[in-house]
């Protein structure tokens, strides 16, 4: 059942590695072979999942919003179009997000908004609320006519009493902020899933004064205010999707939402200071495989559970306005991945989604284990390893996963984006068993699934409906 949560009126955080992993919903668990799980039939798999997870079948939501297992409740945290504490409106299309520990036991949720249409933005009809934002806090004013409507909001949520204490715009003037990722030092990296250049764009009906296709850093803070809109140009200009930051090294991994996209790695010159620049690299499979999509038109394939050594190659002109970084990287040997989207960092591992990968083109999830010497010359002797975690090729199990997170009990949780039909939250055990955790009763994708730092609440967005939800219930803790 869903409720609209009550609301009331009214420091960046530095996280230890342990706190960061807990914030990301991670526990250390053993990793086992996956391929055996897929030899069982769908019925056997569903039964095993039900027994393993203990949540049971879904109960139909009488409000027609989201079906959940018995004993679980969802509350509406935020709704597009509501007035926020800064006088702006909640933008539409809430997408990826992360949750951080806030003061006095609160949770700070930094949420992307994948906006390009002015009607989805925070400024109101005819941009009457635009004057509430200082000009230097807006990345792209759009020649004063079409201020770019994307960015992030921050929600201060009290999980103890399920009340929203505050909500405000925290990054403004960007475009199509799709995914990103949390940092160990208490910020959110928000990524633009676009490569629009300065000028007027007829299809989008928007005027850009600046090039787009960047990452931006947003501190997780409970204080109302906007982040400085400084593009992290060292992390490349392309159709960014998600990032994952390894707390051990400070290295950033990045996905690209293209059918022929690459997987990137950014080695910062100063770990923890992404604005100081660094090296951007692309992933190469030492086996020589140049395309990991497993599409039926390809002769080369990768097998589920196969561990593949990798190397990383340096890229040049990473801020080029030509949007050709992936082509140049592939020509130099980098492997292609089919629509790299969601990414999440676990304990010594990085998961990412390829939304249109697989023989049936309905999704893959990969797992990367960094080298003990990741980012140094010594990694040549002991390279990082990549493996195809799952590729179901069965719409009854999973269709087009997008954003992902890792639950407090160690399972991967994937948000489906089926391109218009109702979607599911799909849990994936470390043995490769899939189960349905939630089912949308409305058309449109799930996005941004993330657990609160205290593991009591799963936050998730319904993108087309403009809703952010908080799901509580008898979650497993480990």
Q: pLDDT digits over 193-220, tens only?
A: 999 999 999 999 999 999 999 999 999 9
Per-residue pLDDT, 20: 55
The C-alpha atoms of residue 129 and residue 66 are separated, in whole angstroms, by 33
- Output the average pLDDT for the chain: 90
Q: How many helices (H) and strands (E) does the chain have?
A: 3, 29
In a domain, 44, yes or no: yes
* Cα–Cα distance measured from residue 255 to residue 337, given in angstroms and rounded to the nearest whole number: 9
In a domain? residue 188: yes
> pLDDT at residue 142 above 60?
yes
Alpha-carbon span 40 to 19, nearest angstrom:
37
Residue 131 domain-assigned?
Answer: yes
* 322-347 tens-digit pLDDT: 999 999 999 999 999 999 999 999 99
- Average the pLDDT over 10-28 and give the result: 45
Is pLDDT of 139 > 70? yes
Give the model confidence (pLDDT) of 347-386 as tens digits.
999 999 999 999 999 999 999 999 999 999 999 999 999 9
pLDDT for the residue 467: 98
CA–CA dist 431, 37 (Å, integer)? 6
Give the residue, 163 or 422, on which the prediction is more confident: 163
pLDDT digits (tens, 9 = 90+) for 422-478: 899 999 999 999 999 999 988 889 999 999 999 999 999 999 999 999 999 999 887
Which residue has better confidence, 104 or 18?
104
> What domain range is 77 assigned to?
2-472
What confidence score (pLDDT) does residue 33 get? 29
- The strand pairing partners of 163, in sequence order, are 158
Q: Which of 375, 373, 187, 183 is nearest to 279 (CA)?
A: 375
- Per-residue three-class SS string for 391-453: CCCCCCCCCCEEEEEECCCCCEEEEECCCCCCCEEEEECCCCCEEEEEEECCCCCEEEEEECC
Pairing relation of β-strands 446-451 and 434-440? unpaired
Phi, psi of 251 (to 5 degrees): -70, 140
Q: Order the strands of the 467-472 sheet from edge to edge.
A: 2-4, 73-79, 467-472, 457-462, 446-451
DSSP state of 443: S
For the ranges 48-52, 168-172, 266-270, 385-389, the lowest mean pLDDT is seen at 48-52
Predicted confidence band of residue 15 (pLDDT cuts 50, 70, 90): low
The number of beta carbons lying within 10 Å of the beta carbon of residue 163 is 16
Give the CATH number for residue 100.
2.120.10.30
Phi-psi sector, 254: left (phi>0), alpha (psi -120 to 50), beta: beta
Local structure of residue 296 (DSSP, 8 states) = T
Phi, psi of 329 (to 5 degrees): -65, -40
* Within-domain flag for 37: yes
Residue 145 has what pLDDT?
86
Return the minimum-mean-pLDDT range out of 36-40, 93-97, 116-120, 209-213.
Answer: 36-40
Share of the chain above pLDDT 70, in %: 88
For residue 172, what pLDDT band results from cuts at 50, 70 and 90?
Answer: very high
In a domain, 122, yes or no: yes
Q: Considering Cα of 225, then 154, then 467, then 396, what sign does the dihedral take?
A: positive
Mean pLDDT, residues 5-20: 46
Q: Is there a contact between 431 and 451 (Cβ–Cβ < 8 Å)?
A: no
The helix/strand/coil state of 312 is: strand
Position 289 pLDDT exceeds 90: yes
| CA angle in degrees (0–180, nearest 5) for 310-313-316 | 160
Counting beta carbons within 10 angstroms of the beta carbon of residue 64, is it exposed (0 to 12), middle (13 to 18) or buried (19 or more)? exposed
Tally of structural domains, the chain: 1
pLDDT at 141 over 80: yes
Longest CA span, the chain: 60
**Nearest residue to 354 via CA among 222, 230, 256:** 256
Residue 26 has pLDDT above 90, yes or no: no
C-alpha 240 chain-centroid distance? 11
Four-CA torsion 184, 185, 190, 196, nearest 10 degrees: -110
For the segment 34-63, the average pLDDT, to the nearest whole number, is 54
Would residue 52 count as lying in a domain?
A: yes
Q: Are 243 and 216 in contact (CB under 8 A)?
A: no
pLDDT score at 53: 54
Give the pLDDT score at 316: 97
| Reported confidence tier of residue 38, pLDDT bands at 50, 70, 90 | very low
**Is residue 477 situated within a structural domain?**
no
Please check whether residue 77 lies inside any domain of the structure: yes
């Amino acid at each position: 059942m869903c409720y609209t949560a009550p609301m009331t009126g009214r420091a960046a955080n530095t996280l230890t590695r342990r706190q960061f992993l807990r914030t990301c919903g991670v526990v250390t668990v053993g990793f086992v072979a996956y391929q055996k799980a897929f030899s069982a039939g769908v019925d056997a798999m569903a039964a095993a999942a039900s027994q393993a997870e203990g949540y049971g079948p879904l109960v139909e939501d009488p409000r027609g919003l989201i079906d959940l297992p018995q004993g679980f409740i969802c509350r509406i945290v935020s709704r597009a179009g509501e007035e926020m504490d800064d006088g702006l409106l909640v933008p539409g299309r809430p997408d990826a997000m992360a949750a951080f520990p806030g003061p006095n036991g609160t949770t700070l949720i930094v949420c992307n908004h994948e906006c390009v249409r002015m009607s989805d933005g925070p400024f109101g009809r005819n941009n009457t609320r635009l004057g509430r934002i200082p000009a230097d806090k807006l990345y792209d004013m759009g020649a004063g006519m079409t201020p770019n409507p994307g960015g992030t909001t921050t929600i201060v949520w009290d999980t103890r009493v399920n009340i929203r204490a505050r909500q405000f715009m925290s990054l403004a003037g960007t475009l199509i902020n799709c995914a990103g990722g949390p940092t160990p030092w208490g910020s959110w990296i928000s990524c633009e899933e676009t490569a629009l250049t300065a000028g007027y764009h007829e299809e989008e009906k928007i005027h850009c004064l600046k090039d787009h296709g960047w990452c931006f850093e947003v501190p997780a803070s409970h204080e109302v205010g906007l982040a400085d809109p400084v593009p992290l140009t060292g992390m490349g200009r392309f159709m960014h999707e998600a990032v994952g930051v390894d707390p051990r090294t400070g290295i950033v991994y990045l996905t690209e939402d293209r059918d022929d996209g690459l997987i990137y790695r950014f080695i910062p010159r100063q770990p923890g200071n992404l604005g100081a620049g660094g090296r951007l690299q692309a992933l190469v499979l030492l086996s020589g495989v140049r395309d990991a999509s497993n599409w039926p038109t390809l002769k080369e394939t990768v097998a589920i559970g196969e561990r593949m050594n990798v190397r990383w190659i340096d890229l040049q002109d990473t801020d080029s306005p030509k949007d050709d970084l992936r082509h140049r990287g592939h020509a130099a040997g980098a492997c292609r991945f089919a629509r790299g989207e969601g990414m999440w960092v676990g304990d010594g591992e990085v998961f990412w989604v390829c939304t249109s990968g697989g023989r049936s083109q309905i999704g893959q999830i990969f797992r990367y284990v960094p080298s003990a010497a990741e980012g140094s010359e010594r990694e040549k002797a002991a390279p990082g390893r990549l493996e195809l975690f799952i590729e179901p090729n069965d719409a009854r199990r999973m269709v087009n996963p997008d954003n992902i997170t890792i639950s407090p009990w160690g399972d991967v949780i994937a948000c489906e984006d089926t391109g218009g039909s109702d979607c599911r939250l799909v849990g994936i055990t470390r043995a490769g068993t899939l189960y349905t955790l939630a089912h949308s009763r409305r058309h449109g994708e799930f996005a941004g699934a993330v657990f609160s730092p205290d593991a009591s609440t799963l936050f998730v967005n319904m993108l087309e409906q403009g809703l952010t939800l908080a799901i509580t219930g008898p979650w497993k803790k480990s």
